[in-house]
Amino acid sequence: MSTIALTYEFAARELRARFAGSFAGILWAVFQPALQLAIFAFVFVKVFNARIPGADAPGYVAFLAVALWPWTAFSDAILNATKAIQDNAALIGKVAFPRAILVMARVCASFVIHLLGFVVIVVALNFFDDHVRLLAGLPLALLLYVPLFALALGISLLLAALQVFVRDLVQLLAQLLPLLLYCAPVFYDRTIMPVAYQPWLSLNPFTFYAEAFHAIVLDHGVIAAPSLACALLVAAGTLLCGYWLFTRLDKHFEDFL
């Protein structure tokens, strides 16, 4: 069986496992983030009266949604894929196959699930917010998922390899991912921060994607060519480094599983 076919089979297995016994099935890909979005919208809009600065700024719910869905795909992929090798220890000991497929399958499954939710939410927001650029923005937003996927896969390969030797890495990751979320302009616009702190946001790899999705889907802000080039280089470099480390440590997996 080819690598692509094997990855497809493992990804399909991951999707079935996630929704096995679930009444709503894959619809939870929409329900769960939508419920989370509704909670955030109530807290920030109704309680804190959050607004995006600017006379022609988009509504806060749309601003939050178009960046929160990509973040959910990114963080869910990393958190689940980090455990891919450890969770399949029995299989690794019995069958010879490229172990990186296990990591890639989980990243693919997470992105498929949340990409579906992203499309649904953008279509729905189009009826409530005039800033949503459905026909022009949605195809470009889906294209932006490609480097985001590469970034998530590179990080996942690196962490999945290390998780075999450092078992509490997942627990640490569960604390670090929310920190990355709040240090990216998902819930707020960069311009509301003090000027001295604004450049620090760019150190967060997800900052570019949050602002790029805002620019593409809501026409809020612009995508600077240097920022785009830097994000593509970071995604490609992370993927190469992650795969290199994974292949270097691969031969030692069975000794520690």
Q: Tens digits of per-residue pLDDT, 16-39?
A: 887 765 555 667 667 777 787 788
Q: SS3 letters for 24-91?
A: CHHHHHHHHHHHHHHHHHHHHHHHCCCCCCCCCCCCHHHHHHHHHHHHHHHHHHHHHHCCHHHHCHHH
Decide if pLDDT at 248 tops 70.
yes
Q: Which two tokens stand for residue 250?
A: 């691969």
Q: What is the chain's mean pLDDT, rounded? A: 89
Against a cut of 0.75, is the pTM above it? yes
pLDDT band, very low/low/confident/very high, at 79 (cuts 50, 70, 90): very high
Q: Tally the residues of the chain.
A: 257
Tokens of 166: 């450092």
Domain borders along the chain are 3-256
Exposed, middle or buried by CB within 10 Å (0-12, 13-18, 19+), for 6? Answer: middle
